[in-house]
Amino acid sequence: MTAQVIDGTAVARQVREDVAKGVQELLAAGGTAPGLATVLIGDDPASEVYVRNKRKLCVAAGMQDLHRHLPGDVGQEEAAALIDELAADPAVSGILLQLPVPKHLDSEALLARIPAEKDVDGLTAANAGLLAQGRPGLRPCTPSGVMVLLDEAGVSLQGAEAVVVGRSVLVGKPMAQLLLERNATVTICHSRTRDLAEVCRRADVLVVAAGIPGLVGADAVKPGATVIDVGIHRGENGLHGDVDTAAVAEVAGSITPVPGGVGPMTIAMLLANTLEAAKVQQGRGD
């Protein structure tokens, strides 16, 4: 392997430490501790693990854990009422509805009730619009985590050719907006792209968020490029991403591993968003 490995675990730890410092500064300035309301509906074991991790790191950063749990057979109205209650509660800085919700519920309608200023996942249409228009707002956690990784790795974005593979609302589309905001020339690829490898080879910065294991091989990478792998898949030999890491690492200039790359950044940015939301709500925004 010749590529520099971008250590997401270390960067995420640093972000969480910075958030913890920010919480202390907020308290010292007479503010109150940010509160994160994770909302779990039902008993999906994977969702339980995700929520537990978020709550644990929230507490470790000095924030209030305002977790709420609803039974899996809860009705739409009752779930909506809980979101409304959290929206109105001044102790709640951020609301995170853990997805997926049980199939009988309308998750979009529930998300739409989260006020933009408490939408710490950055998933509402309101925050997507602010991002699209380049206006201040809470950004989706995974793509904003990628931006921090690129900055920490010293990657120059101004005028760079950036290629994003995948156009999900969660990652690909906001990722493209964030790269554009930093003056990259941005291309978005997807399943209908004619020659994916050819387009990817143009990239100085390649972000792969397609959800297909090993989609991007060495033939799709320009020598020296920075490759960010957002995918995570459980295979026979452990976790893998959307990138054939071993092969690509022989070509790329730097690369994120899976696990230990983008993954840890998502929760770190959730905490950073919760602190930012609390500061704005308490009249101490930047």
Please state the residue numbers annotated as binding site.
166-168, 232
- Nearest distance from C-beta of residue 5 to a copy of itself, angstroms: 28
Active-site annotation holds for 54? yes
SS3 147: helix
- Nearest distance from C-beta of residue 126 to a copy of itself, angstroms: 6
Look-up of token digits 């990259």: 184
Contact stretch for a copy of itself (CB under 8 A) within 19-27, 52-60, 130-138, 254-262: 130-138
SS3 137: coil
If binding is defined by CB under 8 A, does position 144 make contact with a copy of itself? no
Active-site annotation holds for 24? no
If binding is defined by CB under 8 A, does position 183 make contact with a copy of itself? yes
Over the window 95 to 124, marking each residue x when it contacts a copy of itself by CB under 8 A and - when it does not, the resulting string is: -----------------------------x
**According to CB under 8 A, which one of 4, 47, 185, 282 is a site residue for a copy of itself?**
185
SS3 226: strand
Q: Cα separations (Å) of 58 from 11, 180, 229, 234, 279?
A: 17, 31, 25, 26, 16
**According to CB under 8 A, which one of 190, 223, 250, 285 is a site residue for a copy of itself?**
190
- Nearest distance from C-beta of residue 134 to a copy of itself, angstroms: 7
Which pair of structure tokens corresponds to residue 236? 């026979």
Burial readout 61-70 (b: 16 or more C-beta within 10 A, e: otherwise): bbbbebbbeb
Question: Which residues does the annotation place in the binding site for NADP(+)?
Answer: 166-168, 232
If binding is defined by CB under 8 A, does position 224 make contact with a copy of itself? no
Nearer to a copy of itself (CB atom), residue 132 or residue 247: 132
**According to CB under 8 A, which one of 127, 254, 256, 281 is a site residue for a copy of itself?**
127
- Nearest distance from C-beta of residue 186 to a copy of itself, angstroms: 5
Whole-angstrom Cα distance, residue 182 to residue 87? 32
Q: What's the burial of 180, exposed, middle or buried (CB within 10 Å: 0-12/13-18/19+)?
A: middle
Whole-angstrom Cα distance, residue 250 to residue 246? 7
Active-site annotation holds for 177? no
Beta bridge partners of 102: none
Q: Known catalytic residues? A: 54, 98, 121
